[in-house]
Each structure stands twice: as C-alpha cells, then as structure tokens.
C-alpha cells in the first residue's frame, strides 16, 4: 500500500471546509432562532396589548360601577336624612330638623343622575324641594312638616322600586 502524504495546505483545507460548513450551519441555525424568537416576541406583544385593553375595559366598568354605587349611597343618605328631619320636627327639634335637611341637600348634590339611573328632572325637583324646605320660614310646625313630607316624597320617587320601604 502506498502511503499518501498530505501537504500542510491539504490538511488545513479539510479543516477549513469543515469550519466554513460549520459557520454556515451555525448562521442558518442562528437565523432560524432569531426569526422564531422575533415571532414569539411579536406574539407576546400582541398578547400584552390584548391584556392591557381588557384591563382598561374592566377598569372602566369598575369606575362606572363605583360611580353608580356612590350615587346610590348619596341618594339613600338623602332619604335617611329627610326621614330624620321629619322625626326631629315631630319632636319639636327644629334646629336639628334643618341640619338633617342640609345633610339631605348635600347628599342630593353628590348624586349623579346618569350613574344612579334616575331621571335628571326628578333629581332637580328633589333638590329644589330640599332648598325650598331649608329656606322656608314656617309659621307653625304643621307647615314645616308639610314641607318635609314633600321632600321625603320627592326623594322616594328617585329610589328604585325594590329599594323603597
């Protein structure tokens, strides 16, 4: 058998070709990883955008629910204050009755008609009744009581039917 001797160049050529093929394969693999990774990032960004939109929608719904609950709480506080004013007049505590009326007026001022789901005209009428009762100079307790009954009825008309008692 004849022995083949390789020159130094031929030895390096084999290694060089292997090295170039390795680099090419590595570059292709890196390109595939880059493209797949980029697609994953794009998908992740889209998912985050959807999550952000869903969170913003929930926040908007929660804000509307909070406004509705706050308005309903103010409406109920006005109803209780109107009833307290009527009780104080029956006890001849006219100063306390006016304080309760002022509390009812302040509570009605915080009611948002749209958020509470009440008729804005009815809300304005109730506010006007409270203002009339606060400003009224009643010559006798019966006249003051009549004002307070009208206030109570005006506030009652604002409440949803299932909450009236």
What are the pLDDT digits (tens) for 66-94? 888 888 888 889 889 988 988 888 888 88
Q: CA–CA separation, 89 vs 98, rounded Å?
A: 9
**Phi and psi based region of residue 117 (left: phi greater than 0; alpha: psi -120 to 50; beta: remaining):** left
pLDDT, position 103: 92
Q: Confirm whether pTM is higher than 0.85.
A: no
How do residues 88-127 score in pLDDT, each as one tens digit? 888 888 888 888 889 999 998 988 888 888 888 888 888 8
């Amino acid at each position: 058998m004849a022995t083949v001797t390789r020159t130094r160049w031929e030895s390096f050529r084999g290694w060089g070709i292997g090295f170039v093929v390795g680099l090419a394969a590595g570059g292709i693999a890196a390109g595939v990883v880059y493209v797949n990774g980029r697609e994953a990032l794009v998908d992740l960004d889209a998912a985050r955008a959807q999550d952000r939109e869903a969170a913003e929608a929930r926040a908007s719904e929660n804000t509307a629910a909070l406004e509705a609950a706050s308005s309903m709480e103010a409406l109920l506080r006005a109803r209780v204050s109107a009833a307290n004013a009527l009780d104080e007049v029956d006890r001849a505590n006219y100063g306390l009755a006016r304080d309760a009326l002022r509390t009812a007026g302040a509570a009605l001022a915080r009611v948002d008609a749209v958020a509470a789901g009440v008729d804005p005209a009815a809300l304005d009428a109730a506010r006007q009744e409270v203002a009339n009762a606060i400003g009224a100079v009643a010559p006798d307790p019966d006249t003051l009581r009549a004002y307070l009954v009208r206030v109570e009825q005006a506030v009652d008309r604002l409440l949803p039917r299932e909450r009236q008692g």
